[in-house]
Amino acid sequence: MTEPCVFCAIVAGEAPASTIYRDDAVMAFMDIRPVNAGHVLVTPLKHEMSVLSLDDDTASHMFTVGRRVAAALKDAGVRLEGFNLFLANGTVAGQTVFHAHLHVLPRFTGDGLGFTRNANVRMPPQSELDETAERIRRAGGWE
Ligand code: 5GP
Ligand code: ZN
């Protein structure tokens, strides 16, 4: 049996959410455990675990609505000097709700959030970057 999806329940109006925006493809609502005040989630109405399973229009629309929410946050009095648009796809990337969603994260100096780079970050030789780029071009059908 598949686990019930909390975001599907929100979309269906069966679970409560503090909704900001809704159209025929996506909705935006407040994160129940905000990492900073004003933390918003934008999610497609359709259940897909991976953003890669969404059609292009819906996936791009998530970004469009995320931008609009970010633009509204400051006027709404949210403490914000910048923001992150963040999407975790897959457990290893930090996804914990398996219904694709985009985080809109207000950021301010000293908020204690941030990505940390792993210890083995290095600058690879150009040839290695070229070789990787070529493989991705081929896989994407862009050559
Ligand atoms: P993820 O870790 O999958 O990128 O993000 C899941 C987010 O959903 C978390 O920030 C978490 O606080 C939020 N969340 C989990 N359950 C609920 C819920 O029932 N309602 C709302 N509004 N947010 C939720
Ligand atoms: Zn769902």
Q: Where exactly are the structural domains of the chain?
A: 6-112
Strand ranges for the chain from DSSP E: 19-22, 26-30, 40-44, 82-86, 102-107
Which of helix, strand or coil describes residue 121?
A: coil
Domain covering 6-112 in this structure, CATH number: 3.30.428.10
pTM of the complete model = 0.95
* Residue nearest atom 4 of ligand 1, based on CA coordinates: 95
Distances in Å between the Cα of 88 and the Cα atoms of 16, 92, 100 are: 23, 9, 8
Round the average pLDDT of the chain to a whole number and report it.
96
Instruction: Kindly give the number of the ligand 1 atom that is closest to the alpha carbon of 9.
Output: 19
Residue nearest to atom 20 of ligand 1 (CA): 32
Query: What residues line ligand 1, using a CB cutoff of 6 Å?
Result: 6, 17, 29-33, 41, 88, 94-97
Do 40 and 31 touch, CB atoms closer than 8 A? yes
pLDDT (tens digit, 9 = 90+) per residue, 42-76? Answer: 999 999 999 999 999 999 999 999 999 999 998 99
